Structure 1
Amino acid sequence: MAITKEQWSAIEQEMKGSMGRVVLKLEGRQLSLEKRLITENQLAILVYIDGTINPGWGWEGSDHFEPFVKRVWRQSTRSVYKPSEQARIIKNLGKRLVKKTFPDMDKKLHFWMPYFKTSASMRRVLQKNKEIELVSIGYVAETA
């Protein structure tokens, strides 16, 4: 059963604080959304798939690539060469030589990151999955 508008609001509210945890289910896999530190003084919503995050899952060229992450992680893009590097290389070599020497100058890398910076961006990505189910909101004591 799809998540209702009220449930999405409750999920966003849980994730807006400094701590939060939501458990979802998609295609038989458990997604744990947890508010955690990703760098010093920077919080983000991490998406664990079956209790695990493997950064290799997000790289299409990797042997560890997991197609499922395209549905639940945030897509990110980076240029092979920074604009300042491109300008410096073009200035030193000229446009014609750069095209011959660096054919991938304008190439961009696409990969998926296991975190979201805001609850709204998380909702936009996860809401596209119509068969996603809500399991729990908040930290629930797990008993054996």
Structure 2
Amino acid sequence: MAVSKEQWEEIEKQLSGSWGRVELVCDGYKINAAIVNVSPLKLGIAVYVDGVTLGEWIFNEEKSEIPLKFHQEKKRFAFKGKYRDWLLKASKNRVWTKEERAKYAADAARTHSHWLPYWTNPTSFCRHIRKTCTSIELVKIGY
């Protein structure tokens, strides 16, 4: 049974409060989403897949489907902004070949990704779940 629009609104409302909890079954995985402290003064929606969150999912080197479906991707630049600016400026000012200039520009834009097992916005969590999962069932709200 698919989740209706009213149920999605109720899920978002539940995950906007201080002690919200939701249990879903998405593509055969049991998903528990609960409001927890993600840092000393910050609340977030922790996502537990089949009751656990594994550390190996953070960097997802094996390209597991679980972090891609349920966790939030964060991209970071490999270099600080000051160094990226210097690389781009140097590639334009110096007499370099087109290939060298492209190499330094690629270095300046290089990023790495990691997947956080929590979300800070219930709307983005629900949108991501709807986009990545084919079958979604609501089990419990606010248990």
* TM-score normalized with structure 1 length: 0.80
Structure 1 residue ranges without an equivalent (≥5): 140-144
**Structure 1 CA distance for aligned equivalents of residues 113 and 2 of structure 2:** 29
**Structure 1 CA distance for aligned equivalents of residues 106 and 127 of structure 2:** 35
**Structure 2 CA distance for aligned equivalents of residues 101 and 134 of structure 1:** 49
Which amino acid in structure 2 is aligned with residue 79 of structure 1? F
Classify the secondary structure of the residue corresponding to 2:109: coil
Structure 2 residue ranges without an equivalent (≥5): none
Following superposition, the deviation at residue 127 of structure 1 comes to: 1.5
Kept in 2: contact 1:15–1:119 (CA 8 A): yes
Following superposition, the deviation at residue 87 of structure 1 comes to: 2.8
The match for 1:30 is 30
Classify the secondary structure of the residue corresponding to 1:53: coil
The match for 1:131 is 135
- After the TM superposition, which segments of 4 or more aligned residues of structure 1 sit over 4 Å from their partners? 88-91, 96-103
Following superposition, the deviation at residue 85 of structure 1 comes to: 2.8
**Structure 2 CA distance for aligned equivalents of residues 121 and 44 of structure 1:** 12
**Structure 2 CA distance for aligned equivalents of residues 85 and 18 of structure 1:** 41
Aligned residues: 135
The match for 2:69 is 71
Query: Per-residue displacement from partner, 1:5-27 (whole Å, max 9, x unpaired)?
Result: 11101111111111111011122
RMSD in angstroms over aligned alpha carbons? 2.3
Distance 1:6 1:84, change over 3 A: same
More helix as a share of residues: 2
Classify the secondary structure of the residue corresponding to 1:71: helix
Where in structure 2 are the equivalents of 1:1-144 lying within 5 Å?
A: 1-60=1-60, 62-63=61-62, 65-88=63-86, 94-95=90-91, 104-128=107-131, 129-139=133-143
Classify the secondary structure of the residue corresponding to 1:47: strand
* TM-score normalized with structure 2 length: 0.81
The match for 1:142 is none
